[in-house]
């Protein structure tokens, strides 16, 4: 399914390559306007770390578009001619293999289209990846000792201990960020988990989670494991069986219990962690991210959180706009501020009274 979506998204990018003004360079602004509170001070940072790279990357952007445009003029005629040949391909295929295997023929045609689209858009993809690898670190160092890597070796499987990771058969993870905010260590990456679903005649992949996995250090001591998960009815019974050492925890807040189920191997400690104030903050945070889908686990002096987010985070701006890193910076600052808000809202930097 993700391949099909990618093909359609890239197809619309290809249409934009035929804009006659595409390769005309436009005046580029040199000023970062600080509008939001979390952008304060970034103008000087922009001047120091980003502005002198604008000319180089604008040239690279135009070069990538020129290559993509050339490849489009080569491939589009082929893509338009293929449908006219399909009836003849079907006849040849049926004579050779029978009509019961036509699915393979149509799948092959789809793959050919996917390869042609990849050939057209590859230069644009490589350019945008260069923004992530070379520019994003220069934006993130505004916050101090932050590290960014477009790829990651981390896997959702390493958080199986939480009992929150759904069953999956395919994982696509990227955008690994490490840093420290107000004394709280941050370790996060973006992931999409898919489960293979088999039908009578075929199979497909279904997304079971898309968002960020984040680990935050805590300044409150605890020894056991406490899991806060979305209310899941029958699935909760499976959770109980899988983690028989964890017992359901009944808390004082009925509204919280409508949103979440809590399990722990230490009833006293779980109430210590999930006091009234913390529950209120977690409810507010859940609403910020779209209701009761946020989940977390207190374990080994850390708070692990699963936060579903539909759109891709940490992505560069459009290649069809002049390059000045302004949009890239504003988007990345906004997304990191969202992460910092988790720490501020839950007051994870405080040593007492979560």
pLDDT per residue as tens digits for the range 315-325: 998 999 889 99
Q: Using alpha carbons, list the distances in angstroms from residue 88 to 75, 93, 138.
A: 21, 8, 55
Asked whether the predicted pLDDT for residue 241 surpasses 60, the reply is no
Quick one: how far is CA 191 from the chain centroid?
5
Q: Are 101 and 12 in contact (CB under 8 A)?
A: no
Which helix (DSSP H) or strand (DSSP E) does residue 15 occupy?
helix 2-16
Among 64, 43, 133, CA closest to 316: 133
Q: How far apart are CA 148 and CA 4, in angstroms?
A: 29
Taking the CA atoms of 292, 298, 303 and 308 in sequence, report the sign of the dihedral they define.
Answer: negative
Q: Using alpha carbons, list the distances in angstroms from residue 247 to 96, 192, 250, 300.
A: 62, 30, 10, 18
Which pLDDT does position 354 carry in this prediction?
A: 44
Q: Are 122 and 17 in contact (CB under 8 A)?
A: no
What is the crossing angle of helices 2-16 and 54-97, to 10°?
A: 120
Q: How far apart are CA 18 and CA 74, in angstroms?
A: 13
Q: How far apart are CA 34 and CA 330, in angstroms?
A: 9
CA dihedral of 286, 287, 292, 295, whole degrees rounded to 10:
-10
Which pLDDT does position 71 carry in this prediction?
A: 95
Which tens digit of pLDDT belongs to each residue from 180-220? 999 999 999 999 999 999 887 778 889 999 999 999 998 77
Average of per-residue pLDDT across 94-109: 72
Among 192, 226, 191, 216, CA closest to 302: 216
| Cα diameter, the chain | 76
Which range among 5-9, 131-135, 208-212, 284-288 shows the weakest confidence by mean pLDDT? 5-9
Average pLDDT score over the chain: 85
Q: Which of the listed ranges 1-5, 52-56, 109-113, 199-203 does the model predict with the highest average pLDDT?
A: 52-56
Please, which residues have CB within 8 angstroms of residue 301's CB and are 6 or more apart in sequence? 217, 218, 221, 222
Q: How far apart are CA 246 and CA 267, in angstroms?
A: 9
């Amino acid at each position: 399914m993700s391949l099909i979506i990618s093909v359609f998204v890239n197809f619309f990018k290809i249409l934009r390559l035929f804009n006659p003004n595409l390769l005309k360079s436009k005046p580029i602004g040199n000023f970062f306007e600080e509008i939001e509170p979390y952008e304060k001070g970034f103008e000087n940072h922009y001047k120091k770390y980003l502005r002198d790279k604008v000319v180089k990357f604008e040239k690279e952007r135009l070069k990538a578009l020129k290559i993509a445009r050339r490849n489009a003029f080569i491939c589009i005629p082929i893509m338009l001619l293929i449908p006219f040949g399909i009836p003849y391909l079907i006849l040849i295929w049926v004579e050779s293999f029978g009509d019961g295997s036509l699915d393979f023929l149509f799948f092959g045609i789809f793959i050919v289209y996917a390869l042609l689209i990849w050939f057209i858009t590859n230069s644009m993809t490589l350019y945008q990846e260069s923004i992530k690898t070379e520019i994003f670190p220069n934006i993130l160092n505004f916050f101090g000792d932050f590290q960014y890597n477009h790829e990651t070796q981390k896997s959702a499987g390493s958080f199986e201990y939480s009992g929150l990771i759904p069953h999956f058969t395919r994982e696509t993870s990227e955008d690994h960020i490490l840093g420290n905010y107000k004394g709280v260590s941050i370790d996060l990456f973006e992931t999409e988990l898919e489960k293979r679903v088999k039908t009578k005649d075929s199979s497909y992949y279904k997304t079971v989670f898309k968002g960020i996995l984040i680990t935050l250090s805590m300044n409150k001591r605890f020894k056991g494991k406490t899991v806060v998960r979305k209310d899941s009815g029958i699935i909760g019974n499976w959770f109980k069986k899988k983690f028989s050492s964890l017992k359901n925890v009944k808390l004082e807040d009925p509204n919280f219990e409508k949103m979440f189920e809590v399990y722990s191997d230490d009833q006293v400690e779980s109430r210590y962690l999930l006091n009234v104030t913390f529950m209120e903050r977690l409810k507010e945070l859940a609403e910020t991210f779209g209701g009761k889908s946020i989940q977390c686990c207190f374990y080994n002096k850390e708070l692990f959180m699963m936060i579903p987010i539909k759109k891709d985070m940490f992505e560069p701006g459009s290649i069809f706009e002049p390059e000045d890193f302004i949009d890239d910076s504003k988007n990345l600052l906004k997304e990191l501020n969202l992460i910092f808000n988790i720490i501020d809202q839950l007051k994870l930097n405080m040593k007492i009274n979560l």
